Each structure stands twice: as C-alpha cells, then as structure tokens.
Amino acid sequence: MNGVSVIQNFSIIACRNKKITTSNKMNRAVCKNLLSYFSFPLIGLMLSLASCGGEKSGPAETTTRGNIKITVDESFQPIIETEVFTFTHLYTNAYIKPQYKPESDVINDFMNDSVKVIVTSKKLTDYQIQTLRDTLIIPHTTTYAYDALALITNKANKDTLLKYNSIKDIFLGKIKNWKDINPDSKLGNIRVIFDNNKSGNIRYFKELYDIKDSLGENFFAVNNNPEVINFVSRNPDAIGIISVNYISDKDDSLSMSFTKKVNIVGVSQEFINDGSYYRPQQGFIYDKSYPFVREVYLINRETFLGLGSGFVNWACKEQGQRIVLKSGLVPATMPIRLVQIKH
C-alpha cells in the first residue's frame, strides 16, 4: 500500500464515522472541515511515505563510488594506469581520472586543493604540512612502493657498467667526456638527458649530490620519460635518467619495447669496490644494492572517507600491492620473500 492509498483510506474512514448524509448540510460541513483538518498533516505524511517507498539514492561519494581526479607524477604513469583500471573495474560506480604531470605541478595541485590525492616520490615539507594544518587539513602520507632511477645509454655505447663515483662526477661537472670514463671510447662529450625541468628524477640527484646551483650545460630536459628513451636510442653520446617503472614490467609490450632500444646501466655501490655492479631489478631495489632507490607515496587530504581514501587503502592492500609486484617495482606494505638463484 503506497502513501496515497493510506491517505485516501484514512480520509474515507473519518467521514464514515460521522455518518454523513446528503440531506444533512451541517454534517456535510463538519465532514468538510474534518477532511481539511486531516488533509494538511497527512499531505506531509503522504510525501514522506511516498519518498520512503521510492528507490533510495545512494550517497554521492563513498570509498567505492564517486567521481574524482588525482594527480600523478608522470614517472609513475604505467603503474598507476594499471591500478586505476583494476580498481574501477572492480568497483563499477567508481570513476577516477588520473592527471600526469611533473613533480612540482603535482605538489602545487595538492596544495591548491585541485585534487585530494597525489602520487609522488616527494614528501611534503614541514612548511607545507603546517600550511594545510592551518586550514584544518591533515594530509596522510602512505609509502606505496619502492622505485629506482635507471640510467640508460645508446646501444652503440659499450660502457654499460659505471662506477658510482663516475656518475657523481658527471653530475658535479668533473666528468664531461666519455674518454674520462673509458680512454678507448670514441663517443666524445656526454649529454645527460632527463624528463623535465620540474622533474622529481632530476631533483633526486641534485639532492643526493647536494647540488645547489643549476646543472651543467651538458644537461638537457625533454618532456617525459618516453622522450628520454627515444632521445638516447638515437644519440650514442647520451645518457638518460628515467623511472625504472617504464622498463620493469616484463608482461607489458610497451615496456619491453623500450628495453630493446637502450642499454640499462649497471652501477657499483658507493663505498664498496669489489667489482660488483647492480642494475635496477626488483631484488637489488629491495635490498638497496642498487644505489638509486626512492619511495613512492600516496598522499591524501580528504576530510572524510571518500573515493580517494578508498583508492589509497586498496592500492596499499593485497590486490594493489600485487600490481606493484607484477610491475617490477617493490611493494611497500606487503611482505616480500627474496629468492636467490645461483648459476
């Protein structure tokens, strides 16, 4: 019985109890007043019951439904595309639109409240955290994965193993020619190629080697990680800096096509000179034998448990971390068992 039927039946019963007849004008007037008396409050009841009996509309946003944007450091585009695709296919009412930008733009979007969630390798500064707290926003930072910065060279370059200190000297401007690394090299001056002037990749090395001033004139920025790979593949004298995320997924055809274009450089450890060199592979990222390892963070500024919080939580739990493992990076919140294979 719907709300309208309840009102009609209730009104009819009220009139019958007064024994209304067509010849009794006074009783007709009483009935009219009685119906008016019941009609006003019961209209409200009718509307209330009708709305209760109708289809319930869910909340605009929960941890598994809604429509949001997130901003992602371009270095982590391959893995985040997979995470978002999987999450939104599991939760069909969830719509997440990732925007891929250089690191500094990612941080700016977060501080300007353009997005509630970002993916970055840079933690917020104490000043940024306090600025948000002053507006009653408490950002939550979760370590999501471990990534590495890979050095790549042209296929024609035979120097595929570099000492840590040689790389440091390249950044400090002490080494500018391939002959300074290998006297037999015929490649000439070294050109260092990175993804963007606002990049977290180049920031990492500047902070690592305490470089306060601008980089040398042999450092060149392009637009993104794939452009670094393409540039190095065409220029024998170049050495490139990319996120290993672009070349680590052995099941991804694009990732494997990149590895066919360039050499992945093996690097010695900083204080150990035993002739060992390490490439940015999962095992060496995990135990940090490879020297250029960094953390990947999911930072959330939501003030309620919305879709952003749901995505962050999912990405850091088992399903999301399995995607990290498959991608060739190292999960941050899932136990890892390292298996050593002896040849």
Q: Residue-wise pLDDT tens for the chain (343 aa)?
A: 443 333 333 333 333 333 333 344 444 443 344 334 334 443 343 333 333 444 344 468 899 999 999 999 999 999 999 999 999 999 999 999 999 999 999 999 999 999 999 999 999 999 999 999 999 999 999 999 999 999 999 999 988 999 999 999 999 999 999 999 999 888 899 999 999 999 999 999 999 999 988 888 999 999 999 999 999 999 999 999 999 999 888 777 778 888 889 999 999 998 888 889 999 999 999 999 999 999 999 999 999 999 999 999 999 999 999 999 999 999 998 766 655 555 5
Angle at 214 between CA 210 and CA 217, to 5 degrees: 120
User: Minimal CA–CA distance to 263: which of 245, 283, 242?
Assistant: 242
pTM of whole model > 0.75? Answer: yes
pLDDT digits (tens, 9 = 90+) for 19-41: 333 344 444 443 344 334 334 44
CB atoms within 10 A of CB 287: 13
- Residue 290 is classified by DSSP as S
Domain limits of the chain? 3-53, 59-338
Q: At which residue do the structure tokens 């035993």 appear?
A: 274
Asked whether 73 and 120 are in contact (CB, 8 A), the reply is yes
CA–CA separation, 153 and 238 (whole Å): 6
DSSP assignments along 314-325, one per residue: HHTSHHHHHHHH
What would the two tokens of residue 290 be? 């490879």
CATH level 2 (architecture), domain 59-338:
3-Layer(aba) Sandwich (3.40)
Asked whether 319 and 303 are in contact (CB, 8 A), the reply is no
Question: Strand, helix or coil at 125?
Answer: coil
Q: Give the orientation angle of helix 103-111 with respect to helix 126-134, to 10 degrees.
A: 20
